[in-house]
Chain A
Amino acid sequence: MNEFHQTPSHSAPDPSHEDGSVYDGLLGTDSSQWAFGTDFEDPLAGVDTTVPDGVDHRMLAAYCLALADDALVFSHRLSEWCSNAPDLEEDIALANIALDLLGQARLLLARAAAADPDVVPVLPEGSPVPAEDALAFFREADEFRNVRFVEVPNGDFAHTVARVLLFATARLAVLDRLTGSRDAVLAAVAAKGVKELTYHRDYAGRWFLTLARGTEESRRRLVAALDQLWPLYPEMLATHPVEAAAAEAGVGVDPATVAAETDVVLEQVLAMSGVDRPQRASLAGVDGRTGRDGLHTEALSRMLAEMQVVARAHPMGQW
């Protein structure tokens, strides 16, 4: 339609324009005139980015990819709620959680690329796509190292509440330990993530209780969702050789070591909600391979096809 091609009534701010832009004031160092804050913190400011002595670069990169892909894939699943949540307020809450996880994924993917540039997919020469974007948008499904728990399609709102609760509880325990990593970047990412995940767990825990103690229908849906997710849950707290090696080197955390404390938290929520622990066996791998080995469900390929299509169409694109 024609009107979309007309000159906009106001032009987009150009930071390089000689007259400056209306946003200049926001960028100055003195922000004391602003009642509402403008100062955003770089989580990696002043952090030593060298890989600690004696740490295998390839192992560190593989470990970062696992942590990053869990966050990236779940972030995308949560962002699929955008404009579909039961309420405007919940819509924004889920988008916030998705953005928190996307931020974690971005830092972790960048760390993986810095530790071992060989993990980054090769793009056409001169492509301005940064390494973390190349990792997010130009890897195939079997190159993703996320647990299958985060990739299965969304169900109803109760399904997402249960998934956020299980995910945030396990990841919070892992990142809490990871703040003591010998790798200063991982420690900094973990410190940032702990605050975010504490909120995610609180958000999901409140909704879990509300749905469980709400109406018959809300309880039925919640119990069904938990039952559906349960077989996938143990994978998040199982030890993969990469995680064992990272823990051994003092840079990572073996999730099995936080399984007990994760379970205590979960048991509290279940008990308060009056929901029984599902009696479901965990979903087996194929020849012992699971999500961390690149063995995924079909749902991941479909999700990635949508997530990656625009970036892949423009490998020379500047975003």
Chain B
Amino acid sequence: MTENQGPRDEWPLYEVFVRGKRGLNHVHVGSLHAADDEMAVRHARDVYTRRNEGVSIWVVRADAITASSPDEKDPLFAPNGDKVYRHPTFYAIPANVPHM
């Protein structure tokens, strides 16, 4: 906790990932403020699983995430834009194969 400095400093920002009942992986659902990691999990439970969505929660401090820069968009992603053969679109997927 911070010392008394008049108005409180903001708590650090956390990003929240929830794995749904039938979800295979944790999905980013939003962000929140919390004083520490434990409080972030509890806040995430209260804010993002109110509608019976979740079975597991991950939280990570937003400043611990390294993101790609919008400036790098072309070199990073444009080269894959014309390689349609990388998609499984040239054969039929059996109806009983889930999660494609």
For residue B1, give the distance in angstroms from its CB to the closest CB of chain A: 5
Interface contact A92-B42, CB-CB below 8 Å: no
A206→B52 contact, CB < 8 A: no
| B62 beta carbon closer than 8 Å to chain A | no
Contacts of B42 in A (CB 8 A): 93, 202-203, 206
Task: How many A-B residue pairs have C-beta atoms within 8 angstroms? Tell me.
Answer: 55
Residue A87 at the chain B interface, CB threshold 8 Å: yes
| B20→A36 contact, CB < 8 A | yes
Chain B: CB-nearest residue to A89? B43
With beta carbons under 8 angstroms apart, the residue of B4, B11, B21, B34 that contacts A37 is B21
Interface size, chain B (Cβ < 8 Å):
25
- C-alpha gap A34/B21 in the complex (Å): 9
Q: List residues of A (126-160) whose CB comes within 8 Å of B's CBs.
A: none
**A318, CB-defined interface residue at 8 Å:** no
- B46: chain A residues within 8 A (beta carbon): 89, 92-93, 96
Sampled A-B contacts (21; CB under 8 Å): A35-B20, A35-B21, A36-B18, A36-B20, A36-B21, A36-B22, A36-B23, A36-B51, A36-B54, A37-B22, A37-B52, A37-B53, A88-B32, A89-B32, A89-B34, A89-B46, A89-B47, A202-B42, A206-B39, A210-B35, A215-B1
- Please report A residues at the B interface, Cβ cutoff 8 Å: 32, 34-40, 87-89, 92-93, 96, 202-203, 206, 210, 214-215, 217
